Amino acid sequence: MGVRKGNGSESFVTLASERGRVHKRTLTVVIVSQILGGTGLAAGVSVGALLAEDMLGSEGLAGLPTGLFTLGSALAAYLIGRSTQRFGRRVGLAFGFIAGGLGALGVVVAAVIDSIPLLFLSLLIYGAGTATNLQARYAGSDLALPHRRGFGTSMAMVATTLGAVVGPNLIEPLGELAAAVGVPVLAGPFMLAAVAYGAAGIVLFIFLRPDPYLLAKRLAAASADNDPSTAHTSRLTIPRVGISAYVGATVMVLTQIVMVAIMTMTPIHMRAHHHGIAAVGLVIGFHIGAMWLPSLITGVLVDKLGRTPLVVASGVTLLTAGVVAATAPGDSLGMLILALVLLGIGWNFGLISGTALVVDATVPANRARTQGTIDVLIALSGAGGGAMSGVVMAGASYQVLALGGGILSLVLIPVLLWARRRSTP
């Protein structure tokens, strides 16, 4: 992108005129990559726990795959945040997806040769795709105007829906394809993930130009040059993040723990009640659709109604999901679908409202680093929730796990009260 030489005003006007065009192009590229990324994401969610149970021979360790790939996503989130701060969104997001594809390929090889160490290592690397899928939502808000940040985030997320819903419903045919080529049935979805993640990375690397984050930084710098009262301080100091960033982080961490814990053990619970793999794929497909599809509406609600009402809605919806999952008969496919749909919607409310809170409280100079750090916390909380979910279910029951997760989500409300008290002069 060419920028005219001259005084600061001319540079700022030129950059500002490019903002809308680049934002539209960014959303288009991110949408394509997120469709592919959603397909790759669905593999680990759908059959990761079942594959681990088969290879490890223990229900108590079935939550380990979710713990491992979310732990890997924590490391990836940190690296992507740091690389974005220096090099922009394109490099970090592209290589994050490619790494996730290599991890998925490693899972397939581990299943074929029955290697537990390779399975663990590959799941860690596969987590890079999960982290990248989440980090891409920030690309949708880099160039969005303040009153459109919820919409920008939601557009990046809603695109994940197509791939994420289609992926679980391909479990059975992918299993048949895997068996036909000598690969264990449950490794079939990871074959698709390897291709999908790799393709998403290539799309971003080639087409995410100009880089939205780098342009946002240049806009902020040009704006500061036009304002003599702030130019000096903005050049010498990086502003501290606002209190709403901590609130947003807490919201996203809590919703991640609750969602991952219940979601991870649902396929195990279903198989114990004699549901087939196609039914598992159907339930998880509805769940992932509910995680991503409401994003377009959620983004508008966050912008129109504000962040706080959607945070409260997240806590209430997650509580309802936990109660429905805990009280649903094990053989009731409809009730399990309802519980997992509510679980996905509650997570969606929390993630988009939390993301908007973080963007509101940051500036381009500190945004990418802050976002990366928060996504590390989200990934670590997901790792803990996934790993502990198997232990809780083995030691107690799925019902205790679901109800406990729902009650935990209510912590969101005192967090909001604390933030309001802190922000009151």
On the question of pLDDT at 203 being above 50, the answer is yes
- Is 355:249 a contact under the CB 8 Å cutoff? no
- pLDDT score of 59: 60
Question: Could you tell me if residue 2 is inside a domain?
Answer: no
Give the pLDDT confidence of 280-332 residue by residue, as tens digits. Answer: 878 887 888 898 888 879 988 998 898 889 999 999 999 999 999 999 998 89
- Kindly state whether residue 394 falls inside one of the protein's structural domains: yes
Q: What is the dihedral of CA 409, 52, 96, 343, to 10 degrees?
A: -20
Q: What is the CATH number of the domain that holds 250?
A: 1.20.1250.20
pLDDT value, residue 13: 53
Query: Is residue 409 pLDDT above 70, yes or no?
Result: yes
Q: Is residue 134 part of a domain?
A: yes
- Each residue of 270-282: pLDDT tens digit? 988 888 878 887 8
Whether residue 110 lies inside any domain: the answer is yes
Specify if 236 maps to a domain: yes
% of the chain exceeding 70 in pLDDT: 87
Q: Which DSSP symbol is given to 143?
A: T
Counting every residue written for the chain, the total comes to 425
Residue 206 contacts residue 214 (beta carbons within 8 Å): no
Question: Which residues does 163 contact at the CB level (< 8 Å), separation at least 6?
Answer: 34, 35, 36, 37, 38, 39, 40, 41, 42, 196
Rounded CA separation 353/360 (Å):
11
Whether residue 76 lies inside any domain: the answer is yes
pLDDT band at 140 (very low <50, low <70, confident <90, very high): confident
Domain count, the chain: 1
Residue 98 binned pLDDT confidence (cut-offs 50, 70, 90): very high
Q: How far, in Å, CA of 298 to CA of 273, rounded?
A: 34
Closest of 272, 349, 266 to residue 310, by C-alpha: 349
Give the separation between CA 140 and CA 138, rounded to whole angstroms: 5
Domain that holds residue 49: 8-423
In a domain, 321, yes or no: yes
Instruction: At 137, list the tokens.
Output: 């939502």
